[in-house]
Structure 1
Amino acid sequence: MADGEDLDLNPFYKSLQTKFSSKFETAQDRCYLLCIPVAASLKGIYINQQFVETHVLRPSPYFQSHFVSSDKHGSRSIVLENGHIHTKDGFPTNTAIKILSEELGYNKDYKPFKMLIIEKPLDSTLKSREDPSSPTLDLQETRISFQDNKRLLFQFPEHKTALAVLDQNIRQFNSNYMILQGYLDHAAQKLKDICFHTTENLLKVNRHRRMNSDRRIVDLITNGVESYVMGSVHGKVFQAVCQKCAKDDEIICQKVKEFHGIRGEEFGVKPEFCCPLPASIVELANLDGLTTPLEKVSCLKATLDNISEEVNDSLRSNSMPGDELPCLTSDDLISILITLLIQAKSRHLASNLYYMEHFHWSTSSKDDLSFSLVTFKAAAEYFINTDFSYLKPLTPKVKNEMTFEEIIAVKQEQEGDDNKDKTNKTRPSTTASPRPRLSSFNRELDNITRMIEKTSTSSTDNGPIKSLFPEYDQVQASGFGKRTPTSPPDVIPISKSAGAAPLGDFLSSLQNDLLDGTYGKQD
């Protein structure tokens, strides 16, 4: 710990334990990284939700030693390197902040999490609560939805004229512009030009005092214009995109139906990464209902973040304290995404990916959005072009038993077919038809039916009884051992040979035998 730094007296650490206790508890349970500025650097700083999310960071699902802020969209990122924290995406400037010391804490499951004591806050532009010049524009807020970006643009009075021109251009596009098949690139270029010129006009008239010093304001306005334009023309543009990508969408939908229920292991997911992903499925299922490219690509990123978080939670719950957890690679993500696509059942996945790739132009330092799009494109291409016919789809549940009535009904139906075959066999034919082979199911059904019929009929049978010893049939035919049909013989015929031995106990017991055959030695 830094000399003289007591965490119990640190304003930020005290806020985590009191005002933001739920956030602190979540950070401990999921082993997040806590960056705690020394108390001396926090004088006049207002510790709010954005401050906490900036200094409570979760591991990046893409790179080691990379961490992202704990807000919903992971809008900021840092890198730990050589005893310093290097601020990257989402910060107004990239700076290196010295790590003064490191503390190790343990959660209720005795799993460790790190707390880094740093020399100053990660964002040097944070203002105090009492600063009268604090801007009304919250630069910490992440604006993704169409409505949020629309409110951003219209909250500046100086934007009124430029936005009126933009609304007129949007109305003309929706009413007059015709999107022809094969000319989607032309439509994309036209909308891109509208966004570029509108953004340029807004930046010229905007009077925000940080306009020339804070790159985040430029990014906010650029993203806001694109979201406003694409959200306004979505109905017209996306319909044309769906027509262009209809074949790929149909292939994906067909495979989703065909392979529904197949386990992740069969698609190559490693056993340790196989776990339920409910939050990821729900997030991806929202994709079709979003309108702007920024909303859609942010949905992909949130899905990947949820996958990483849910898999890591599963790994931690199944590991012992101190065990090193395996890391998800890009190949692992592809396999997991295949199972996720099947469960989320997106009807227009190929169309959405095309829409994001060709109608999202706003410059942004968030490379993780691009990575998310590339990862999903790779998964979709793999799903479309790979032959999974060797995998057996989930079959309907098989009944383990059949009722007596069902067995008899099936057997009667088969007997009806057999009678037809017998009728056909009585007719002369020059060629002998091969006897059909019974399936194992039919053979088993025959056996079961015979047993049922035997138990349900009388034990007496008026038909002739076959001999158990067919080898003596010829002897019977010659006159020996014949009997009248009225009753069985009283005794077994004895050989006339002088040296014949008397009957033993076994043969004597067979004298009243009902079987159609004689026993004993025959002369």
Structure 2
Amino acid sequence: MTDDTLENNVFYRRIKEHYGEKMAGWCEPNWVICVPQQSAVENVPLTLPLIEAHALKQYSPTGQYVSAHFGKDLIYEITGEEPRVIISNEEEGTEVVVSKTTVLNEYLVTIKDKVIHILLLNKLLNTTQDQDAEVSNHLLTTTITSFAQAERFLRKFHCHRPLLQEIDTKVIEASEHIHPSNDVDQMQNILQDVLIHCWETLLKKHSPTLQTHTTFQDLLFRALDYYVLGRLHEMLWWLVCERCQVVDQLVKTRLSHLRHANLSSLQLGVPANYYTPLPAAVVELASLPSVESAVGRLQCINSTIDLIQAQAKEARVNLHQYKDQEGEPELLLSTEELVALLTTVVVQAQCSHLVANIYYMTHFVFSVTEEDPLWKSLGLLRLTLENIMKLDVARLPPANKNMRKELSLQDLMQVSAEVESRFETKGASRSIGDITALDLQLHQLTQQIQLSTQALSDTHLTERNSASHGSGAQQCHLHKIVAKCRVLGSFCQAFHLPCVRA
């Protein structure tokens, strides 16, 4: 092959015409540029990432090279004499795939007074460029809701890994501007600039398809929001807590007061028929202090509200089905109902630093727009805080005085018997209005206790001739009954259910 034919190679011409400055930097004695022969690049998009993957820089004196695109994540070896070959070893799951490319010819050309070493190859280097195509097929099902998921998303791309160290350096530089002497706007601008710089840098490493894919753009920015701000969490959170400590103490006192007053959503206007405890939402919200980023905490608030809506809707559906009512149940909770339910969840979870958390999420989340459900969740939490600070327990309807915080096993069995008797006396009619969603939950729990009791009786009858074996089975089923009772006990104790209905 002659120099004239090299000049006609579309890959070589693409570099020379569009990336001349970069090409001048990939010069002797440390760099070689690999140019696949013409037939190997037909119908192949000649993107910058693909070209950078074929610019190899010497990594060691033993003939090892790394590309401008993948860095140390992918090592190539140029070895042999006639013909010379380029070998790379890539891990795919538990296997190591060895790829081998043959060098057809070598050239030295001059670009902007720099000597460029070119290797003409029989095919493209194995550069895992199909990774972008694979990712684009799963974008709609990809979600990032935690720091761990964000880090996995960033690291799964080979082209990202050489740049993550640069991102870590940017994080360290940004941390120098996080101190009380700077106002919040200044810190916001610095952190947003870091995020945008990192986002643009990583995005350029991908194919044009992904670069212009809005879902991928959003996912990448969300991942960086978790990753960058997560590394700065301790510094930012300390700063926010310092600024909000006085008003946070005021809110903490109010939450403690409402908890001791046994505040329930019934007092706040939630219909009695649809009243239901919200243990999953309480547990989710109680985990807020363990989340180490502002966007992560915003996700936690959103998950809490989702759980409230799901549990409330489930209660309404169950009650509607049980009473054989016509039509569809009203599942949409009003803003007032949602605020009331979230208020009781916040009180039960006893959220410390509630004001600091709202301030933190308001000022240090960058990947969420005003139309995003996450941002709307923050607005709902602000309404809830306003509601908590305006509440006057003395003006609320009185709480149920029959509520008890502790129930013995005997009390639990009494609750079970009382609930079942109410369902039995109701008979076949399902139109009686005094059955509520809460009654159905208690009914389900007591039925589980009855099933365990029946299993104990059956075991005793079938195995009465084997004393030792029967005794073991009996103990096993007794343990099951006690466990079910403890579930009911925890259920009643946590949500102050009446031991015996008046």
Q: Normalized against structure 2, the TM-score is what?
A: 0.49
Q: Which has the larger radius of gyration?
A: 1
